[in-house]
Amino acid sequence: MIDIDKWNEILSTLKKNKLRTFLTSFGVFWGIFMLVIMLGSGNGLRNAIYDNMGDFSTNSCFMWTQTTTVPYKGFPRGRRYNFNNGDTKILSENIAELKSLSPRLNGWSSNEGNNTIRGDKAGAFSILGDYPAWNKIDPLEITSGRWINDIDIIEQRKIVVIGSQILNALFQKDEIPLGEYIEVNGVFFKVVGTFKSKKGGAQAAKEEQNIHMPFTTLQRTYNFGDVVGWYAMVAYDNIPVGIVEEKAKQILRQRHKIHPDDQRAIGSFNVEKEFKKMKGLFLGINTLIWIVGLGTLIAGAIGVSNIMLVIVKERTKEIGIMRALGAKPLSVISQIISESVFLTSIAGFVGLSAGVWLVELINKAMQGSEGEMFKNPEVDIHIATTALIVLIVSGTIAGLLPANRAVRVKPIDAIREE
């Protein structure tokens, strides 16, 4: 049953000094408000980073050639070399932990001027030679047609898969590109597929300006011989890609006569390692947010505790009379803690609501924007629930000290208090 008299007494006590009550509750309001805003901002930063990655395989690494830095077997330092098709075959056959291997060759970039023509339309786009496995490592959203397949690689077919920006630049709005031909650096290729990027911001815009053709077709058509530009590798699930990375480097050092201690001759980038660092960074950010937010909240709770001490001091005689009339210590403690919890809960709920409202307002304002460092700030239900629990606990703790002080005063001494 709800004790109406008890709650009327609580409201009456808090109304006696409205300014003091407001300033005290504002500390709790500000603490939970800032906690929600900071958590939402942290999630916005994390969402933007993850969005820029799309569905990129995090258990992957990349490998490319660099100049040697140690002379070896008659070869001087500073030697340049290239990966080749033989490396691809050896790597595939000798690394048991290797799930996917995709050699890639860069043809021309969009910075080199117009390289693609269709009728009276032209554009400058990046040309890439790929294997079917590439779309498992860095997946694209195929909007029509298909991706490169194994038969394209074997038969060196002159086909391409083009990005949405190329589609818009070379074709009419309602025109179907599949089966049509485009001229890439003087050679005609049949369009068999179109795609959109799964990434966000500038990353998506850049990716959608790519023309993908079979790796072997790019090698043969443009006289690259058996040169491989670089490799993308993915390890099997639950196997660190670092194992694949080290085994691949050992094989490539032996095949290209590179000194075993030459750590700079083969460049590499371990996505898994960097992804773990990024997760650690976000964990650190969230931890810092909670420390700052809870610290501010605790400061507000201490303010509530202080005002309750003042209220208890002012009501010493009243409490003494209650005790003299038979009120049990638990009843007095319950009264004081109820006032504390009520004050913190109301202030906290308003702060929580204001924080969530502001985060949602920012979220709606940013929808459709191309921001790369901040996207979809949000506070999920679990965070809101946790914040409310923290409020209730802090309100209870804030009332314990004043309540204990109230019951320690002897009734006869309290009644004599002036």
Q: Mind listing the pLDDT tens digit for each residue in 86-102? A: 999 999 999 999 999 99
User: Does the pLDDT of residue 42 top 90, yes or no?
Assistant: no
Residue 73: give the domain boundaries: 67-107+228-264
The CA R_g of the chain, rounded to the nearest whole Å, is 34
The tokens describing 209, both together, are 């300006």
Question: Is residue 351 assigned to a domain?
Answer: yes
Distance CA 180, CA 144 (A): 13
> Average pLDDT in the 254-272 region?
92
- pLDDT value at position 150? 94
Q: Decide: pTM greater than 0.95.
A: no
Q: How far is CA 117 from CA 104, 121, 188, 192, in A?
A: 23, 6, 9, 17
User: Does the pLDDT of residue 413 top 60, yes or no?
Assistant: no
Question: Is residue 271 assigned to a domain?
Answer: no
Does residue 302 sit in the same domain as residue 389? yes
Does residue 314 sit in the same domain as residue 384? yes
> Average pLDDT in the 342-366 region?
79
Picking from 55, 42, 51, the residue whose alpha carbon sits closest to that of residue 380 is: 42
Does residue 100 sit in the same domain as residue 233? yes
Q: Minimum mean pLDDT among 17-26, 201-210, 236-245, 364-373: which range?
A: 364-373
Quick one: pLDDT band at residue 361, thresholds 50, 70, 90? Answer: confident
Q: Minimum mean pLDDT among 97-101, 113-117, 286-290, 323-327: which range?
A: 323-327
Does residue 93 sit in the same domain as residue 161? no
Q: How far is CA 177 from CA 162, 180, 210, 344, in A?
A: 9, 5, 15, 63
Domain count of the fold of the chain: 3
Does residue 95 sit in the same domain as residue 131? no
Does residue 217 sit in the same domain as residue 321? no
Distance CA 292, CA 302 (A): 15
Does residue 203 sit in the same domain as residue 255? no
The tokens describing 17, both together, are 């000094």
- Asked if 122 and 114 touch (Cβ cutoff 8 Å), the reply is yes
- pLDDT value at position 1? 42
- pLDDT value at position 100? 92
> Average pLDDT in the 205-217 region?
93
Does residue 282 sit in the same domain as residue 388? yes
Quick one: pLDDT band at residue 81, thresholds 50, 70, 90? Answer: very high
Does residue 252 sit in the same domain as residue 327? no
User: Does the pLDDT of residue 250 top 90, yes or no?
Assistant: yes
Does residue 296 sit in the same domain as residue 349? yes
3-class secondary structure, 306: helix
